[in-house]
Amino acid sequence: MLRRLLSKQDFNPGILGLFINPFYFARRNLYKYISKVAPKVHGKILDVGCGTKPYRELFDVSVYHGLEYSNSASGIKNKSQDFLYDGHRFPFDDASYDSIISNEVLEHVFNADEFLSEINRCLKNEGQLLLTVPFVWDEHEQPSDFGRYTSFGLKYLLQKHGFEVLEFYKTAGDISIIFQLINDYIYKVAIGKNRLLNRVFVNALCSIFNIIGGVLTFVLPKNNDLYLDNIVLAKKVCSC
């Protein structure tokens, strides 16, 4: 039970997450907006770059498949994929899915045009795409980190590949982004030290910035030009 509680704080952090999750603001906002859009995503779902399927519980569907890219067994360790693909073509027929979701994956795809073309191909006409991708974030999962997308660039890329943007959200467009980046810095510089001491140090220090950032969010004005993540709900334009 304790393990489940702690695991929940990774992607859906609550009050406890303030004290144990260095990525509190990023993860809290992602969960908030994915929860908001999830009821509008229906039918047979494919989760591209599914990882551990951390948002599966938000989708009330009977078919939810996970797809991962891997060229070696180590690349799929600790993940929950149902299918693998070679980095180019998804292993599905045309129009196989009603909806496709892809969370925090596009920045790791060097061939974005090919990737979005495959998503379009595998979606039914009028099928929905839920896409999240960072705008301001550090390099991560090196060396497979290839891009950052502004809201304008992302909209252009989606329209180019046959999608109509239905809803668009920006996360942490306020002072909390500064405190999230501070915590990210602390987390990164502490890596490599004693594991237990590292966890205690990081959690203790980051919790202070989580609390300060949370309070100041309600006091200081927003700045929607500086934000963490893009959250997009789009649909495939009918080709009939």
| Residue 118 confidence (pLDDT) | 98
Give residue-wise pLDDT tens across range 140-157. Answer: 999 999 999 999 999 999
CATH of the domain at 170: 3.40.50.150
* 168-186 mean pLDDT: 97
52 pLDDT above the threshold of 70 = yes
Q: 193 is in which domain, residue-wise?
A: 2-236
* 99-118 mean pLDDT: 96
Q: How confident is the model at residue 72 (pLDDT cuts 50, 70, 90)?
A: very low
| Residue 71 confidence (pLDDT) | 63
What total number of domains does the chain contain?
1
* Long-range contacts, 210-218 (Cβ 8 Å, 24+): 210/18, 210/19, 210/21, 210/24, 210/25, 210/179, 210/183, 211/18, 212/179, 213/25, 213/175, 213/176, 213/178, 213/179, 213/180, 214/18, 214/176, 216/175, 216/176, 216/179, 217/174, 217/175, 217/176
| Residue 200 confidence (pLDDT) | 83
